[in-house]
Structure 1
Amino acid sequence: MAALCGFVALGTWQIHRMHWKHDLIARVDGFLHAPPVPAPGRNAWTGQQSGLDEYRRVTLQGILLDREIPVQANTRLGAGFWIMAPLRLDDGGYVFINRGFVDAAHRDPASRGGAPAGRVRVEGLLRLSQPGGGFLRSNVPAENRWYSRDVAAMARFLGLSPVAPYFVDQSADGAAADSVTENPLRWPVPGLTVVHFRDEHLAYALTWYALAAMTAAALAYGTRQEWRRRRGAGNTGDREDAR
């Protein structure tokens, strides 16, 4: 009986997760098709939430520092690095900008030029910090080896403060319209963010409910067999008393 209740509970939990995921997908799809809005200012830095704010289209302005951190990445262009550069805002704060992807041959800034000079306007997708590291691999700041975009760790590495708890994946612009081919027009290549959410909760729910049904059938069969056994034993006792 405990197994039956457990399977039903797990199936119901997956149904709730499915509805939550569908709401999330609809919300993010709305973000992606909405006009960009100003990126959250310092007074709103602490209020960002994954399911409510991530993947909003935002804009911000400032000066890109000629300092960057390469974070390992795999994209449609192959393996390489995201180039994370801090943008200094007018109020003295910083926001990390994912300027885009480079392959191993263009990891060295000297092979592609430094950050744009002067004040720049950036448009892109708001992303929340990815602390700790990648799957089975931790960031090693002392060796400048990065597997996730951990904003706090990158800020400490570059000695920057205060830094927003989010970063912005820069969108492709007109100059990079053809840059997602095998021979990009420029490096880094922006606009390679993939927005995809796995939605397999219904299949999981059906699996749990199927196990619950099989468990219920097994319990019913066992109960029926036990009832027959006891009934048979009772009839045998009646016949012996009759003698």
Structure 2
Amino acid sequence: MRRIVLGFFVVLFVGAFTALGVWQVQRLAWKTDLIARVDARVHAPAVPAPTNWDAVTRQTDEYRHVRVSGHFLNADESQVYTLSELGAGYWVMTPLKTDDGRIVYINRGFVTEDKKAPKTRPQGQLDGEVTVTGLLRMPEVKGWLFQQPNDPAQDMWYRRDVQQMANAHHLGPVAPYFIDADAGAVPGGWPKGGLTVIRFPNSHLQYAITWFSLALLLAGASIWMTWFRKPEDGEDSI
């Protein structure tokens, strides 16, 4: 009876570890395909930003290289606190109004803490028609663990929730995405674009090896205990 019970649990755990290994192999294939698709989007020539907003999804459109033309609504700029490779500072989120009246938020780039106020970088507050190229990003509606929530009443922003920003500035409906501007020369040097971080952790192969190794070790130990190990004096055989 004891041998049957132990055998049952060995089979159960070997099966579970193997299933987890297979799942990680499947995740590895999915992640590898995702990385390839995103890399192709990022390095493709810029295409017009989507105007059929209802059709935009994270899966099909995020990190697509796009372009849009219009006029910046500099008076409605918001600054979102961030930690970047240049240190602590802010993303400059500026709504852009196209010729057909649509509004798309542009993440114009990073400014240091002493450049938060637009008056400290007047040359970068572009007037007239501009054309922006960059990567399409989805709004940050949910924050990370321990991240402070946005405080529209105090004009304090910690995540790039574009509709919430638009509501605070009474802009009405805006595109359900924003565009991270490409790097480029800006009068006065600020904001600095082209700082999008694209990083997809891909440890699924290591996880798969770990699960398969556990399954193999458990199966091997069970076989050795059952068939090759000799019980010592006074010890029951499994």
TM bin (shorter chain): 0.7 to 0.9
Q: Given the alignment of the two structures, is residue 160 of structure 1 paired with residue 168 of structure 2, yes or no?
A: no
Contact 2:87–2:112 (CA<8 Å) still a contact in 1?
A: yes
TM-aligned CA distance change 1:135 to 1:70, over 3 Å: farther
Aligned to 1:8: 18
Instruction: Please list every run of 5 or more consecutive structure 1 residues that lacks an aligned counterpart in the other structure.
Output: 177-183, 234-243
* Aligned counterpart for 1:194 among listed residues 185, 193, 197: 197
In 1: Cα distance, 2:163 partner to 2:16 partner: 40
In 2: Cα distance, 1:46 partner to 1:9 partner: 38
Contact 2:68–2:133 (CA<8 Å) still a contact in 1?
A: yes
Deviation at residue 146 of structure 1 after TM alignment: 2.0
In 2: Cα distance, 1:108 partner to 1:30 partner: 36
Give the TM-score taking structure 1 as reference length.
0.82
Larger radius of gyration: 1
In 1: Cα distance, 2:16 partner to 2:171 partner: 50
Instruction: Please list every run of 5 or more consecutive structure 2 residues that lacks an aligned counterpart in the other structure.
Output: 1-10
User: Cα deviations across residues 137-170 of structure 1 (Å, max 9, x unaligned)?
Assistant: 1223233222221122222222222211110000
- More deviation in 51-60 or 214-223? 214-223
Aligned to 1:206: 209
In 2: Cα distance, 1:142 partner to 1:223 partner: 70
Aligned to 1:108: 117
Which residues in structure 2 correspond to 1:41-52 (within 5 Å)?
A: 41=51, 43=52, 45-52=53-60
- How many residue pairs were aligned? 222
In structure 2, give the amino acid aligned to 1:148: R
TM-aligned CA distance change 1:227 to 1:89, over 3 Å: farther
In 2: Cα distance, 1:109 partner to 1:60 partner: 23
Aligned to 2:45: 35
Q: Which secondary structure does the structure 2 equivalent of 1:133 belong to?
A: coil
In 2: Cα distance, 1:10 partner to 1:224 partner: 27
In 2: Cα distance, 1:204 partner to 1:146 partner: 37
In 2: Cα distance, 1:57 partner to 1:112 partner: 27
